[in-house]
Chains A and B, each alone.
Chain A
Amino acid sequence: MVDPATASRLQFAVTTIVHIIFPVMSMGLAPFLVYFTWKEIRTGSALYERLRRFWTKIFAVSFAVGTVTGLVLEFEFGTNFAAFSAAAGELFGGPLAVEGMMAFFLEATFLGVFVFGRERVGDRLYFVSALMVGLGTWLSAVWILVANSWMQTPRGFEVARESGQLTILLTDPIAAYANPRFPWMFVHMQNAAVLSVALFMAGVAAYHVYRRHHLGVVDEGNLDAEFWEATLKIALVVLVVTAPLQVLHGDAYGRHVAETQPQKFAAMEAVWETDSYVPEYIVAFPTSVDDLLNPRAKDIFGIGIPGGASWLASGGDAQAEITGLNEFEGSPPVAIVFWSFRAMVAMGFWFMLLAFWAGYRWWTGELFEDRLLQKALMASSVLGFLGVELGWIVTEVGRQPWVIQGVMKTTEGVSPGLTATEATLTLAGFVGGYLVLLSLYTYVVGRLVRRGPEGGDDELPDADRPTTPTAAGASEDD
């Protein structure tokens, strides 16, 4: 049996890590769907109609899974973190309730119209419903991040202790909810969602373009060539814009973290002793094998940029001082934060490189000819989602041991009456259940992606889909 606190934390970690995939898909797809719908209505083009239909399917599946996994998170505050919920409900519950009323209703009701209503409502209402779905997904993120940013950098409250019971009272709503962390989180998260979906789209389109241009797989009526080539170009335009932005505001966000959560920043850089001119390590390994699992190993072989971390923390001063982890009470699991941060940053630069590479090939007119580029895009198709996961790991693991920075420890937030048996049982259930859920989702989305859009040849049963018999890889199209 796992003790209730550890099981609850692991369970919350598992449920958030799985849940975040689906809102990222919805938030990232929403602007694309609004654009496709607008073009379809304005131009009457069959291409945009097919683009809208195809990506709406993926949106609908993601939304269904996102809804139920999100409900789990809402319930878990009460079931597993009752002490936190009772203490902080006055500040934390409000944004969640408003998220439901303001954002989730908007998204869920208009999604009904958007998915099922093309033949039932006029163009104008149909376009409005696309906009409302998009607005709903983004507003949802607003309220969740309002709640989360308050936990990271809490303000506008007073703490009362009555007979040992911690109660957090709202005293200044503007300070609490217009939190300085919020804009950084929101910009970085929304851009990440759009970037991740652009990468996914580009990867999927590259797969079909590659099969056509290099394996000679031809679909009937050339419809699919047009469809996938257009998809690739649209995705790349968005990628070229979002990839550099992600790196730019990520850098500024990091500086904000250094100012407001020095403990987290020290964990991101694995700085133990307060020091100035701190290097930014690209990789770091202990020189002794015995120290591999010791995050405080002294003899480190590292490749570092001298003064780099100081430079990042201060915004340009390589001599700046960084407060070491030793000065704080408790610390997060440093290795997880350190490596997640590094991997996320590396991915950010890779996405930028990929965007410039693809942009250059497009400019020289060789976009569909570059085999290596297409393979790179395919290989990167889900990396955006991985980057988001790593970013959230840095954010959430990095603020440990606090659930509310400087106010309440995570272990103090766990439900007092929870037994190890109950907690272990549900943890096991979630690990198993969510593995099944993720495999099913991957299977269904993978299948949609491989089969491509309807139209032209979609009346034929699977086995009869036309492909050139000589083409290698043609048979893998289930």
Chain B
Amino acid sequence: MTELLALEVVWFGVALSDLWFVVVFGFLAVFLFLDGWDFGVGAIFALREDHHEREQCLAAIGPFWDGNEVWLVVFGGGLFAAFPSVYAALFSRHYLLLFGVLATLILRGMAPEFFEQRESEGWQRWWGRAFVVGSVGAPFLLGVFTGNWLLGVEGVAPASLVVGLAVVALNVAAGAAFLRLKTTGALADEMPGYGVRATAVYLALVVVALVLLALRPGLREALLSPVAIALVVGSVLLGVVYVVAARAGRPYLALGASGGMTGALVALVAVLMYPVVEPMTGLTVEEAIIGAPAVELLTIGAAILIPLVLTYFGVLYSAFSGPIDVEESY
């Protein structure tokens, strides 16, 4: 039985344990980017008092956020399926933090749907608040979770708090670029300004986070590896691209740059960790991956399904290209 566990499955020169390490972090990155702009829209919602503009914010993410949020479900499911011991250890160790994530996601998930149900001012004020708390709280707590995962700690580490704030700032940058694309009028016009400020805050927070991470002996060496340095430099360059693109009125490029920054952030976390997948115990990907037949089956399943999923997203986003009217539904 133990041979089954120890057997390393390699397909086309790639160990499936490494592949699933990349896939799981890939799911997390896609989630933090796609649902990230929905969260960003929620944060910007808080800054806009005008009723029509708030409806524009909700209409902009209306058709998309359900699908975007599923990337979190497949991140959890992928981690559970490929590295069950890591899933179990991480999730039980961050017990209250994850219930915080769930609570904020419940607020964010219900708010857009319930907001529209009644034209009453009080009702909409409360659902507006729930939307904001959910949209800011969920990425913050997920950022803290990711930071804790990397540091191998429980409770609250200062570096993790900074990562949480950085994710929120990054989401606001993505949300601003997204709203610039999906809305019209004063709201759209003011978005580049929001995005530029959020990007500046994000880069500043990344610097603080790096300093705090470098204080940890194990991570200091990892931070000096060429890949890690390339990712940090890449983030700064993408930040510059965002600012230039936003000012030049090129929202697609700005959105792409924020996506690049999200990818770089998650990749940095993964690179600093690898080949360990659970820093608290030092468990490596090779030790944590499930047995041979199960991982092969899972890989075949994912290889068939992920291209299909991308097709669905293609259909969805092309059906709703261009600005979205607040009246659109049903």
Mark B148-185 against chain A: 1 for CB-CB distance below 8 A, else 0.
00000000000000000000000000000000000000
Stretch of B227-235, B240-248, B251-259, B295-303 contacting A (4+ beta carbons < 8 Å): B295-303
Given A89-B84, A97-B77, the answer on whether A71 and B294 have CB atoms closer than 8 Å is no
| Contact assessment for A170 and B74 in the assembled complex, using a CB-CB cutoff below 8 Å | no
User: Chain A residues near B87 (CB, 8 Å)?
Assistant: 77-78, 85-86, 89, 93
| Contact assessment for A97 and B96 in the assembled complex, using a CB-CB cutoff below 8 Å | no
A241 CB-CB contact with B under 8 Å: no
The complex places the Cα of A415 from the Cα of B316 at a distance, in Å, of 40
B113 CB-CB contact with A under 8 Å: yes
| Contact assessment for A105 and B294 in the assembled complex, using a CB-CB cutoff below 8 Å | no
| Contact assessment for B67 and A96 in the assembled complex, using a CB-CB cutoff below 8 Å | no
| Contact assessment for B67 and A109 in the assembled complex, using a CB-CB cutoff below 8 Å | yes
A72 CB-CB contact with B under 8 Å: yes
Chain B residues touching A, majority SS: helix
B291 CB-CB contact with A under 8 Å: yes
Can you name 19 A-B pairs with beta carbons within 8 Å? A60-B113, A61-B114, A67-B66, A71-B69, A71-B76, A71-B105, A88-B84, A93-B84, A94-B301, A101-B306, A101-B309, A105-B308, A109-B316, A112-B64, A116-B62, A120-B328, A132-B312, A169-B294, A437-B110
Q: A75-B99, A116-B324, A415-B95 are in contact. List 10 more A-B contacts (CB 8 A).
A: A64-B112, A67-B66, A72-B106, A82-B88, A97-B78, A98-B81, A160-B1, A169-B5, A169-B291, A418-B92
A314 CB-CB contact with B under 8 Å: no
Partner of A96, one of B1, B72, B77, B315: B77
Say how far B295's CB is from chain A's closest CB, in angstroms: 9
Number of interface residues of B (CB under 8 A): 69
The complex places the Cα of A448 from the Cα of B330 at a distance, in Å, of 14
Given A100-B77, A437-B110, the answer on whether A91 and B294 have CB atoms closer than 8 Å is yes
User: Chain A residues near B84 (CB, 8 Å)?
Assistant: 85-86, 88-90, 92-93
User: Chain A residues near B112 (CB, 8 Å)?
Assistant: 64
User: Chain A residues near B92 (CB, 8 Å)?
Assistant: 78-80, 82, 415-418
Query: A169's closest neighbor in chain B, by CB?
Result: B291
Say how far A352's CB is from chain B's closest CB, in angstroms: 35
The complex places the Cα of A113 from the Cα of B66 at a distance, in Å, of 11
| Contact assessment for A93 and B329 in the assembled complex, using a CB-CB cutoff below 8 Å | no
Partner of B96, one of A65, A85, A422: A422
Given A64-B113, A94-B81, the answer on whether A429 and B67 have CB atoms closer than 8 Å is no
The complex places the Cα of A415 from the Cα of B73 at a distance, in Å, of 21
A106 CB-CB contact with B under 8 Å: yes
User: Chain B residues near A53 (CB, 8 Å)?
Assistant: 330
Mark A427-449 against chain B: 1 for CB-CB distance below 8 A, else 0.
00100010001001000100110
| Contact assessment for A93 and B80 in the assembled complex, using a CB-CB cutoff below 8 Å | yes
B-to-A contact residues, CB < 8 Å: 1-2, 4-5, 62-64, 66-67, 69-70, 72-74, 76-78, 80-85, 87-96, 98-99, 101-103, 105-106, 109-110, 112-114, 117-118, 290-291, 293-294, 297-298, 301-302, 305-306, 308-309, 312-313, 315-316, 319-320, 324, 328-330
Say how far A334's CB is from chain B's closest CB, in angstroms: 31
The complex places the Cα of A158 from the Cα of B291 at a distance, in Å, of 11
| Contact assessment for A110 and B312 in the assembled complex, using a CB-CB cutoff below 8 Å | yes
A293 CB-CB contact with B under 8 Å: no
In chain A between 151 and 203, which residues have their CB closer than 8 angstroms to a CB of chain B? 158, 160, 162, 167, 169-171, 173
Say how far B306's CB is from chain A's closest CB, in angstroms: 7
Total contacts A-B at CB 8 Å: 248
| Contact assessment for A77 and B80 in the assembled complex, using a CB-CB cutoff below 8 Å | yes
User: Chain B residues near A289 (CB, 8 Å)?
Assistant: none
Mark A110-131 against chain B: 1 for CB-CB distance below 8 A, else 0.
1111011111110001000000
| Contact assessment for A89 and B78 in the assembled complex, using a CB-CB cutoff below 8 Å | no
A450 CB-CB contact with B under 8 Å: no
Query: A126's closest neighbor in chain B, by CB?
Result: B319
Say how far A94's CB is from chain B's closest CB, in angstroms: 5
The complex places the Cα of A63 from the Cα of B67 at a distance, in Å, of 12
Given A90-B294, A120-B328, the answer on whether A112 and B67 have CB atoms closer than 8 Å is yes
Partner of A101, one of B72, B90, B301: B301
Say how far B1's CB is from chain A's closest CB, in angstroms: 4
User: Chain B residues near A418 (CB, 8 Å)?
Assistant: 92, 95
| Contact assessment for A444 and B117 in the assembled complex, using a CB-CB cutoff below 8 Å | yes
Say how far A34's CB is from chain B's closest CB, in angstroms: 16
| Contact assessment for B70 and A86 in the assembled complex, using a CB-CB cutoff below 8 Å | no
The complex places the Cα of A276 from the Cα of B246 at a distance, in Å, of 80
